[in-house]
Amino acid sequence: MRLTDLAFGFLAAALAVLTVHELLVFLLKKAGLLPAATPWSMKPMGPLNVPTIVNSVFWGGLWGVVYVLAKDYLPGADAWQKGTEFGLMIAVASNFTILPVIKKKPLFAGGDAKIIACVLVILSGFGAATAVVFDELVR
């Protein structure tokens, strides 16, 4: 494992957030499935008041570093398979359990199947894009 691999993982995931993740949010919002979502939002958030998209790119980039550390242990032969599985794992481990506890919200989106499905689509797409871009960067 090289430090450059970790940097490429961060970069790949940051690009995946800016493109695939946010495009899926946009499409799901247009379809009426995520009416409250705002893709590529510049609305300030958090204690540092950074734009929402900057926050998403930063955290997405960190997930890219985790992907690089975990990819050799994920099943599947192709990068997109490993990335899709990784994205689904992020949804369960983070978006449906840890973040709701931190934000004092219901686990698993309160059982809202529409929201659960949208999150799974967005994060599996993010994971697949991260893995494919990472593979291209390290070739």
What pLDDT is stored for residue 10 in this prediction?
98
Q: Rounded distance, CA 121 to CA 127, Å?
A: 10
Closest CA to 128 of 93, 90, 89, 81: 81
What is the token pair recorded at 10? 């961060």
Q: Rounded distance, CA 19 to CA 53, Å?
A: 11
Is the pTM higher than 0.75? yes
Question: Do 63 and 134 meet the contact criterion of CB atoms below 8 Å apart?
Answer: no
What pLDDT is stored for residue 47 in this prediction?
87
| Tens-binned pLDDT, residue by residue, of the chain (139 aa) | 799 999 999 999 999 999 999 999 999 999 999 999 999 999 999 889 999 999 999 999 999 999 999 999 999 889 999 999 999 999 999 999 999 999 999 999 999 999 999 999 999 999 999 999 999 999 8
Q: Rounded distance, CA 42 to CA 45, Å?
A: 9
